Amino acid sequence: MLESRTAITVRYAETDMMGIVYHGNYLPWFEVGRTTLLKECGLPYRELEAQGYHLPVIELGTKFFKPALYDDVVTVITRLKERPVLRIHLEYEVRRGDELLVTGFTTHAFINKKGEPVRPPADFATKMRAAFSSKA
């Protein structure tokens, strides 16, 4: 399993009139966690795009337990439990200290610039294999 942690300070613009983070604003935080995890594996998303690959979200889910508030420092924990083959499935936790606020997941498919499903590039598979081997 691969894991990445990203600290985010809640901005005022991310909150609603109740003073809590608007539910849709957790998804960009998931994206930050996802791109950080890939970068830590030596796979910056920018390089994947430059090679003609994209990873659109094909499924997502969230479960809310407690709200994040303005100026909270939260940690987005991103986990990749299985080495991706055709799809990549990531799980997320948003925590304020030890408090669990939100859980979620996203599933992504590899596509080319024409929007056609494709296998991931060879270097993606190689770097993922290496990342999982180093965590074993």
30-59 residues labelled b (16+ CB within 10 A) or e (exposed): bbebbbbbbeebebebeebeeeebebeeee
CB proximity list for 130: less than 8 A, separation 6 or greater: none
The verdict on whether 98 is a catalytic residue reads: no
Q: How far is CA 129 from the centre of its chain?
A: 19
How far apart CA 27 and CA 108 sit, in angstroms, is: 14
Q: Which of 16, 71, 98, 123 is catalytic?
A: 16
Annotated catalytic sites, by residue? 16
